Amino acid sequence: MSRSVSGTANRHRRWIVATCVALVLAAIGDAGPEIIAAGSVVTGYDGPGPLIYLAVAAAVATLRWRYAPLLAVVMSGFFLVGGLADTEFTSRLAAPAETVTFLAAWLQVLSFSAALAFGLAAVRRRS
């Protein structure tokens, strides 16, 4: 019995790690093009988005509450819907005029989608 409990805990931990990695990749996708264009982390910073993603990843990784990954799910859902509702952002997804911004936009969308799915998998009923 302890072996199955340990296996369940390991699966749960893997989903949490995957959720956090997806949020870090979303932060890279958000801040990356501006940092590359500016050549500096300080001058390339354009807003609080990447810091919010990293703060939620840290909270999900450190909180010992079973439903902590839902923080990542809710945040990812809000940012995903908000990004897809913005015509400037969706134009970056549709037309690869600039390779870096095109790839970064897709990295961000795929990372938020993955964080959403991984977060839900982390809180599914343990059996």
Instruction: Please write the tens of the pLDDT for every residue from 40-71.
Output: 666 666 778 899 999 999 999 999 888 999 99
**How far apart are the C-alpha atoms of 17 and 25, rounded to whole Å?**
12
In this prediction the pTM is 0.86
| C-alpha gyration radius of the chain | 16
For helices 2-38 and 69-85, give the axis angle rounded to 10 degrees.
Answer: 40
Asked if 27 contacts 50 with a C-beta cutoff of 8 angstroms, the reply is: yes
Q: What is the pLDDT of residues 1-16, one digit of tens each?
A: 455 566 677 888 899 9
